[in-house]
Structure 1
């Protein structure tokens, strides 16, 4: 039993490009349903890997990016704590 899946245009276009590439490389037509099923099946080595892929990214910032951020910082000469920040953000 097939069920429709809503996706944005970029994802739909990506599936169409993959379909075309598979046909060019193998001479075989595949449906988007078959393609999506194969992608889901083979995407991750384990369910844990899949779940982990949705966690917030904690990729370390490279040293150059860190330096650029720190170069843009200016010391106002005023000490700021959490209460100050809450007051500024939330009034």
Structure 2
């Protein structure tokens, strides 16, 4: 664990003691964090993903080549009617 992470863990541990009045070990804090992460695994996985998925120029061009204009203007109301009836 790097020094910055260790320091942040110590601050979290101290804050928990101040707010709860109970002593907690760093091991207990880490165990609870891991337990919570397992319960919300999708959020944890997403936090490690790139914010933007890179797409090659060829793939981007192929996507846009497949788009066609219907020649009809579509409003938000039209879309809502189609989706929600």
5+ residue gaps in structure 1? 1-6, 59-91
- State the distance in 2 between where 1:11 and 1:50 align: 17
Alignment of 1:1-91 (within 5 A): 7-43=1-37, 45-58=39-52
Taking only aligned residues, the RMSD between alpha carbons, in angstroms, comes to 1.7
Between structures 1 and 2, the one with greater helix share: 2
Deviations 1:19-50 (A, max 9, x none): 11111111101010100111122246532322
In the alignment of these two chains, the number of paired residues is 52
5+ residue gaps in structure 2? 53-85
The secondary structure found in structure 2 opposite 1:57 is: coil
TM-score (structure 2 length as normaliser): 0.53
